[in-house]
Chain A
């Protein structure tokens, strides 16, 4: 008999806690010990086996509903299973019979779990033997996305940005002579999922390289995305100074790139380190643009690599991540390009053509200082907390109006890179 006092707890709806799709075992030891999946509503659930009771021929398992961020953090070994349970407000004990029929589910509090069943502090996600594929998903979550809808313009931008990002990874492989092509697959629930399939053709069919298939290009791209998401911001100094050694994670990515050349039987460029560093900097700008999409219509973006029905999370982007990532890029740009910054707010005339009123980030046209017949399209950030609806900024956006603003600009030579607009001074 187990030590859970289930009878005193509220019954939960089985639909809510039962895994019906995307079931994946994370650890197997005679039985599935730790597993994940999704319920009827598409919520991610993590479950573990607690105990069997031969006397009544029933088993109990613990199920916890996870946010996308919690799931990502667990899969990336950032938090333990114990930590997930500690911070969860939706823990359930699921009772099933020995034929695996779910019988009942009870609401349960972390504090009520008998201590002898608690995972240890080392209960991190087991190492999974994982293959990679050329199938990727970008999953929008929160707000409109939670009812499986998305604004066409948002989807279009993300599709274009991520397509370019994927195709650029193939193009950046020097000497391979590959034509990349990213294909869109049907959208899917969960909450709003955009699916991509990356493929390539060899430029010279007559002299095809038969070893290309053996090159782990798919896992290189997956690791690349994971690096941008998890390590790039912390590795800032590596991109500020060419003499700084690679971090362990960047070395690991370099080893993978090395493997792509060796297994693909393509002569490796001498300056692979330099090429990788420059490629990451280039792609980080595109990645930054993806992070800028968060705000009005969804709260977060997850990027995953998919094999069959398994989605392996590579990146989780929310407002905090977005801000940290953008700061890193800016720091590098300032350092690399002799950027000139305004010390004080100055008057500028701009026309806003893109604005996320939630994150207050967008882009605008502005005439260059010297060659005034040419324009820059700097990023804009509007300071303050007041809503932007019915302000001159949204009027400029919707009516293509040129407006006067007070802003601190960042320029490289004649070209504007950023305008930090003071909303207080320019209403």
Chain B
């Protein structure tokens, strides 16, 4: 796997402590009840830049936000998704449960306040939607 899109335009070592993960289940909030290519396009790829341009934020914008799916985290994750939806319903009321296939990219644990299971997914240069296994799309609110 190569990660030139992650590494070539910043000095941040976003891939440090990241690794491939094809065993765990992850979930990611969707804007609509169907999976589209744009759901796996990072803010960085869309030319959006963070307000504070330190490596933590830059890497966060280069990655795709997702949560490790485990029963113990479910309540916390859904609380976060529901809070977002309550503030702005346009942000979506569905999530995608999926697994990554070999070659999809690397995963890094990036916990946040009130979001212990948060991970960033750094796509490999050849990533396509076919690199994930869709398990289900769930309406959470």
State how many residues of chain B have any CB contact under 8 Å with chain A.
25
B85: A residues at CB distance < 8 A: 120
A59: B residues at CB distance < 8 A: 48
Question: What are 26 pairs between A and B in contact, CB < 8 Å?
Answer: A27-B87, A29-B29, A29-B65, A29-B81, A29-B83, A32-B51, A33-B88, A33-B91, A34-B87, A49-B88, A51-B90, A52-B48, A57-B48, A98-B47, A98-B48, A98-B49, A99-B49, A116-B89, A116-B90, A117-B89, A118-B89, A119-B86, A119-B89, A122-B82, A124-B86, A127-B114
- Contact across chains for A50 and B112 when beta carbons are under 8 A apart: no
Complex alpha-carbon distance, A339 and B29, angstroms: 63
- Contact across chains for B90 and A117 when beta carbons are under 8 A apart: yes
The number of residue pairs between A and B whose CB atoms lie closer than 8 Å in the complex comes to 69
Q: In this assembly, does B17 line the interface, its C-beta being within 8 Å of a C-beta of chain A?
A: no
The 8 Å CB contact of A129, one of B29, B60, B81, B113, is B113
Complex alpha-carbon distance, A54 and B91, angstroms: 15
Q: Which of chain A's residues has its CB closest to B65's CB?
A: A30
B48: A residues at CB distance < 8 A: 52, 57, 59, 98
Q: In this assembly, does A208 line the interface, its C-beta being within 8 Å of a C-beta of chain B?
A: no
A48: B residues at CB distance < 8 A: 87-88
Interface string of A44-58 (1 = CB under 8 A from B): 000011111010010
Q: Which of chain A's residues has its CB closest to B113's CB?
A: A129
Chain A's nearest CB lies how many Å from the CB of B59? Answer: 13
Q: Which of B41-64 contact A (CB under 8 A)?
A: 43, 46-51, 60
Complex alpha-carbon distance, A51 and B90, angstroms: 8
- Contact across chains for B89 and A33 when beta carbons are under 8 A apart: no
- Contact across chains for A81 and B87 when beta carbons are under 8 A apart: yes
The 8 Å CB contact of A54, one of B46, B60, B113, is B46
Complex alpha-carbon distance, A57 and B46, angstroms: 8
- Contact across chains for B86 and A122 when beta carbons are under 8 A apart: yes
Chain A's nearest CB lies how many Å from the CB of B69? Answer: 17
Q: State whether A117 and B83 are in contact (beta carbons under 8 Å apart), knowing that A57-B47, A100-B51, A129-B114 are contacts in the complex.
A: no
Q: In this assembly, does A172 line the interface, its C-beta being within 8 Å of a C-beta of chain B?
A: no
A99: B residues at CB distance < 8 A: 49
- Contact across chains for B89 and A120 when beta carbons are under 8 A apart: yes
Interface string of B78-122 (1 = CB under 8 A from A): 001111111111110000000000000000000011100000000
Q: In this assembly, does A126 line the interface, its C-beta being within 8 Å of a C-beta of chain B?
A: yes
Interface string of B27-51 (1 = CB under 8 A from A): 0010000000000000100111111
Chain A residues at the B interface, C-beta cutoff of 8 Å:
27-34, 48-52, 54, 57, 59, 81, 98-100, 116-120, 122-124, 126-127, 129
The 8 Å CB contact of A123, one of B47, B50, B86, B90, is B86
Complex alpha-carbon distance, A33 and B86, angstroms: 11
Complex alpha-carbon distance, A30 and B63, angstroms: 10
Complex alpha-carbon distance, A124 and B114, angstroms: 16
Complex alpha-carbon distance, A32 and B85, angstroms: 13
- Contact across chains for A126 and B83 when beta carbons are under 8 A apart: yes
- Contact across chains for A33 and B87 when beta carbons are under 8 A apart: yes
Chain A's nearest CB lies how many Å from the CB of B66? Answer: 10
Known: A57-B47, A129-B113. 20 other contacts (CB 8 A): A27-B84, A29-B29, A31-B43, A33-B87, A33-B88, A48-B87, A49-B88, A51-B90, A54-B46, A54-B47, A59-B48, A81-B86, A98-B48, A100-B49, A116-B89, A118-B89, A119-B88, A120-B86, A122-B86, A127-B114
B65: A residues at CB distance < 8 A: 29-30
A57: B residues at CB distance < 8 A: 47-48
Complex alpha-carbon distance, A99 and B43, angstroms: 11
- Contact across chains for A33 and B84 when beta carbons are under 8 A apart: yes
Complex alpha-carbon distance, A116 and B82, angstroms: 15
Complex alpha-carbon distance, A57 and B43, angstroms: 11
Q: Which of chain B's residues has its CB closest to A27's CB?
A: B83
Complex alpha-carbon distance, A32 and B112, angstroms: 13
Complex alpha-carbon distance, A54 and B125, angstroms: 21
B50: A residues at CB distance < 8 A: 100
Complex alpha-carbon distance, A116 and B85, angstroms: 11
- Contact across chains for B51 and A50 when beta carbons are under 8 A apart: no
Q: Please give me the 7 A-B residue pairs with the lowest Cβ-Cβ distance, nearest first.
A: A29-B84, A123-B86, A98-B48, A120-B86, A122-B86, A30-B65, A100-B51
Complex alpha-carbon distance, A70 and B44, angstroms: 36
Q: Which of B1-49 contact A (CB under 8 A)?
A: 29, 43, 46-49
Complex alpha-carbon distance, A51 and B46, angstroms: 13
- Contact across chains for A50 and B88 when beta carbons are under 8 A apart: yes
Chain A's nearest CB lies how many Å from the CB of B61? Answer: 9
B47: A residues at CB distance < 8 A: 54, 57, 98
Complex alpha-carbon distance, A81 and B132, angstroms: 37
Q: Which of chain A's residues has its CB closest to B84's CB?
A: A29
Q: Which of chain B's residues has its CB closest to A80's CB?
A: B86
Chain B's nearest CB lies how many Å from the CB of A75? Answer: 15
The 8 Å CB contact of A119, one of B43, B49, B87, B113, is B87
